[in-house]
Amino acid sequence: MKHVISIILGVCFPLAGQAQADTVRAYALPEVTVTDSHRIREVRSVAPVQSLSREELEHQHALQLSDAVKRFSGVTVKDYGGVGGLKTVSVRSLGAQHTVIGYDGIAITDCQTGQIDLGRFSLENVSRVALSNGQDDNIFQPARFFASAGVLHIETLAPEFEAEERTHLRAKVKAGSWGLANPSLRIERKAGRKWVLTGDAEWMSSDGRYPFTLYYGDENDASSREKRQNTEVRALRAEAGLYGTFSIREQWRLKAYYYQSSRGLPAAATYYYNHFNQHLWDKNAFVQSNYRKEFGRRFALRLAGKWNWSYQRYLDPDYKGSTGQTENNYYQQEYYLSASALWRALDNLSFSLATDGSVNRMNADLHAFAKPVRCSWLTALAGKYVTDRMTLSASVLATWVHEDAERGNSAGMHRKLSPYVGVSFKPFAAEEFRLRAFYKDIFRLPSFNDLYYGQTGNIGLKPENARQLNVGLTYTKRICDVIPYLTLTADAYMNRVTDKIVAIPTKNLFVWSMVNLGKVDIKGMDVTGSLGIRPCEGYALNLSGNYTYQRALDVTDPDPSTAEGKTYKHQIAYTPRVSGSGQAVLETPWVDLSYAVLFSGKRYMLGQNIAENRLSGYTDHSVSARREFRWRDVSASVAVEVLNLADKNYEIVKNFPMPGRSFRVTVGIDY
């Protein structure tokens, strides 16, 4: 216990150290390249990495994080429509539970469902968003980031001050169609030479009552114009940060976060039924801390800790049972500690050791709820060798998980070793052309819902395994002053998912159970490209785009006489064969103009690929104009956006129509 208390105090209250610098800045650890642009780092990485900087996010026509993530290749965002609709991300058809969301270097978890709603994350305080498949090249990170098939990193704004500055103030207001109101405020204040305080607050509200076309059968049949009902949303986000810079080699960060929302839950839009009253309340609070210190050039240490609490209330006032309504309350808590050490054995050879421990608890007011507790211990050993021509990275992750339940049986214990190896090679010294490949064997644990939820839970579930193989090529070049960069990447991949957790009927269609039954074979290709054109001073044209082809087939059971056999070698639900996006941004001395397109091929709402289950493809166009003004120490910006310019009526999830054409105006002031 004394050792645990010492670690917590070291994470949360590292007060020792003397300040040498007068500004808050991020310090580069030895094995991280920071001199190149993010485009250069992406093409040099062993595994595919895509990122959007703060400047690029300004032109993404994105209100929430999910809007920006849709622009990445190989990503499927399941969107139930509107500002308050649930939004989850799946990378290369592996499922949302295989993607970890990192917030300032610490993972966000939900042990109840195993997936995170991206709709709760704003972009107002975000400096960079990055998506890595398999594993990124940074081996100096918590063990949790080794324990996933993909990681979505969210980096929030860090305060930066000039020599005489002491206070920064940023205010922004967004307003738009369907009652959207979204004000935000950020304050940064220096408190002496070593410390900086920050505060963020944001409010968002919308009635969400957008019109849509309801078809009675096929799109060629009769239809009517309707409005979405029960779609209002009210959300508050508040953050406070404390940054300590004791020297260029030692920093500490403490962040407190609070989020709450109240939103209606619109049901599927179907004929003859347009009355919905279900409601959902969410609350989430966490405190997390990061401490980093360099001991010379050879050794570095990172400590992190987090306490997380979340609450969810669901109400259905129209339930026809004896109670007259359904009301459920769910509670989660997590305690998390992490320690990572980096040893640079040689100038081009480094090793890391990371170990994470966590305790997850869940409670609910359901009848005879199990009240499970999950204790996890993850340890990752990794190494990386880097030269001008080659990067070699490898790791092994050891996972130990023990579960207990207050009522009934529990899932018991899980132990597993998960390897990873990746390589990038530059065959020609004069060209930044590289070949890369990686292999990773990883898994995801069943969620508490999979294990313990009512009659459907199954405590005998095994982890869902995923084997990833990727081969690709990357190229970047500065052609001339007029074309300062051209970047291309192409990656082919194969994923194999076994012991996939699926729900099947047991006694009848109304009693289901979770079982390890599914197998999925995924083959695909991601292609990305970007081009910069600078015809003369003050003018720039930035072009970017990506294209994804995925063949994700259910290969569970070839026997056509079984229920699973009817979906054998069919594309899995909600996965398009082809998808992609493109963007053009024109920067001028007067105004910045942006155009973006997002497209998807046909999909199927169920695993059986028949006409009745087909969803048509769609294309979504958006345009914007943005102007910045500056007067002394104050800068202001005004942006006008038109989203879904063609007013396309489409669905990402069956019977959950997306909004049509809408307008948004943003006014911001920086001081």
pLDDT over 60 (residue 21): no
Separation of alpha carbons 211 and 221, rounded Å? 19
Separation of alpha carbons 664 and 639, rounded Å? 8
pLDDT digits (tens, 9 = 90+) for 104-121: 999 999 998 888 888 888
The per-residue pLDDT of the chain, averaged, comes to 86
- Which residue would you say has higher pLDDT here, 7 or 131? 131
Percent of the chain with pLDDT over 70: 90
pLDDT over 60 (residue 11): no
21-25, 100-104, 442-446, 447-451: the lowest-pLDDT one: 21-25
pLDDT digits (tens, 9 = 90+) for 449-474: 889 887 678 888 889 999 999 999 99
- CA-based Rg of the chain, rounded to a whole angstrom? 25
Separation of alpha carbons 313 and 318, rounded Å? 16
Q: What is the mean predicted confidence (pLDDT) over 162-170? A: 87
pLDDT over 90 (residue 396): yes
pLDDT reported for residue 93:
87
State pTM to two decimals: 0.88
Q: What is the mean predicted confidence (pLDDT) over 61-90? A: 82
Closest CA to 314 of 329, 336, 325: 329
Q: Write the Ramachandran bin of 206: left for phi over 0, alpha for psi from -120 to 50, otherwise beta.
A: beta
Beta bridge partners of 203: 236
Place of tokens 């169609």: 177
Please, which pLDDT band fits residue 61 given cuts at 50, 70 and 90? confident
Q: What is the mean predicted confidence (pLDDT) over 392-406? A: 95
Percent of the chain with pLDDT over 90: 56
pLDDT digits (tens, 9 = 90+) for 275-328: 678 889 999 999 999 999 999 889 999 999 999 999 999 898 877 666 678 888
pLDDT reported for residue 404:
92
pLDDT reported for residue 37:
55
pLDDT over 80 (residue 27): no
Residue 161, phi then psi, degrees to nearest 5: -125, 140
Please, which pLDDT band fits residue 273 given cuts at 50, 70 and 90? low
pLDDT over 90 (residue 335): yes
pLDDT reported for residue 322:
65
pLDDT reported for residue 123:
87
Q: What is the DSSP pairing of strand 413-425 with strand 106-108?
A: unpaired
pLDDT over 50 (residue 576): yes
**Side chain identity at residue 277, one-letter code:** N
- Which residue would you say has higher pLDDT here, 324 or 262? 262
**Side chain identity at residue 420, one-letter code:** Y
Q: Which 3-state string (H, E, C) describes 534-598?
A: CCCCCCEEEEEEEEEEEEEEECCCCCCCCCHHHHCCCECCCCCCEEEEEEEEEECCCCEEEEEEE
pLDDT reported for residue 34:
39
pLDDT over 70 (residue 533): yes
Whether 172 and 125 have beta carbons less than 8 Å apart is answered as no
Strands (DSSP E) found in 426-463:
432-444
pLDDT reported for residue 212:
85
91-95, 303-307, 316-320, 610-614: the lowest-pLDDT one: 316-320
CATH code of the domain covering residue 140 = 2.40.170.20
262-276, 317-331, 395-409: the lowest-pLDDT one: 262-276
**Range from 13-27, 213-227, 322-336 that averages highest in pLDDT:** 322-336
Closest CA to 174 of 184, 164, 160, 186: 184
pLDDT reported for residue 237:
95
pLDDT over 70 (residue 17): no
Please, which pLDDT band fits residue 31 given cuts at 50, 70 and 90? very low
Structural domains of the chain, count: 1
88-102, 213-227, 519-533, 600-614: the lowest-pLDDT one: 213-227
Range of the domain at 543: 2-670
